Amino acid sequence: MTEDDDSDHYYLGVHKDAFRRYRMFNEINMPGTASRLADLSLNPDMHILEVGCGIGDTACYFAKHVVPDGHVTAFDQASDIVKLAEKEARDAGISNITFVCSHAQDFDYGSDRYDLAHSRYVLSYSPDAASIVASVFGALKPKGMFFGEEVAQSYVKHGKAAWIDKMEAWFTALIEHGGGNPNYGLEQLPSDMIAAGFENLHVNGFWPMQDQEEVVAMLRLALSNEMRPNLVALGVATDDEIDAVLAAAQAPGKDFIVSAAAAIQVVGYKPSA
């Protein structure tokens, strides 16, 4: 773990310069999130729960859609990241979000509070994802919906590059060291939702690859800042091996294209009471 990381399972780490990587992650993934949300009706009085909000990009997106009467509650375990999220919302003039610093396991979910809950790339890292999904179910009002977007360790590729194979293997190793599942979105999320009581599940996939330079820049940033200290501490990779991958990781051309890891999007509904 890095010194700024409050978790004991989030082996991707949270670096003090993480803001840029979170923002890039959002830019790369928001088209998929927004296209799925376009099919769900967001009403202006909704109460929304954002699980593992990061710097608050999706919380702010929701907050803007639920004015004037709606509200967003957003939490993340990393205190420095929650502070950044609060600042982002304040600077954007958004006042209908409550940010909370909490582990998902400790959060006060309450019951029958929210119309919609959302998580993006959070449960995949958690050893106890099923219990978080069950807590989210309890927190929702009858007919409330959960929109989970979680990792599937599958990339769209054309051509071959050894550095991307290494990145994938290291990403997998870090998630597994933390007790998570790099294929959680495909292998567990629908089952965990059904076990919790959700009905009428809809599943979509989104492979982020619109801007190849941005995908590579985000992967480089994650490796050089956040993954490196944990990979080295765990003995998964040496600094020299990481430097070699960073030197090789250049924006793909016509011989090679790649997406970031897929987001499997699952929407499910809490039955009416």
Verify binding: residue 72, ligand SAM, rule CB under 6 A: no
120 binds ligand SAM (CB under 6 A): yes
How near is the Cβ of 272 to ligand SAM at its closest, in Å? 29
Minimum CB distance to ligand SAM, residue 133 (Å): 12
Query: How many whole angstroms separate alpha carbon 53 and alpha carbon 30?
Result: 13
CB of 26 to ligand SAM, least distance (A): 5
Residue 81 or residue 242: which is nearer to ligand SAM going by CB? 81
| Residue 25 vs 206, nearer CB to ligand SAM | 25
The answer to whether 22 contacts ligand SAM (rule: CB under 6 A) is yes
Interaction residues for ligand SAM, span 38-57 (CB under 6 A): 52-54, 57
172 touches ligand SAM by CB under 6 A: no
Question: Cβ-closest residue to ligand SAM?
Answer: 54
Q: How far is the CB of 233 from ligand SAM (least distance, A)?
A: 18
In the complex, the smallest distance separating the C-beta of residue 15 from ligand SAM, rounded to whole angstroms, is 11
Backbone angles phi, psi at 186, to 5 degrees: -85, -40
Name the residue nearer to ligand SAM (CB basis): 125 or 198: 125
Does 10 interact with ligand SAM (rule: CB under 6 A)? yes
Q: Which of 130, 136, 132, 129 is nearest to 113 (CA)?
A: 136
- Nearest Cα residue to 177 out of 122, 104, 125, 99: 125
Do the beta carbons of residue 242 and residue 231 sit within 8 Å? yes
Count of residues touching ligand SAM (by CB under 6 A): 21
Q: Which two tokens stand for residue 96?
A: 């209908």
CB of 32 to ligand SAM, least distance (A): 11
Contact track, ligand SAM, 208-247, x by CB under 6 A: ----------------------------------------
Torsion of CA 55, 72, 262, 232, to 10 degrees: 30
> Contact between 77 and ligand SAM (CB under 6 A)?
yes
Using CA atoms, how far residue 191 sits from 13, 30, 100, 132, 133, in Å, is 27, 25, 28, 13, 10
Where along the sequence are the contacts to ligand SAM (CB under 6 A)? 10, 14, 22, 25-26, 52-54, 57-58, 76-78, 81, 103-104, 120-122, 125-126
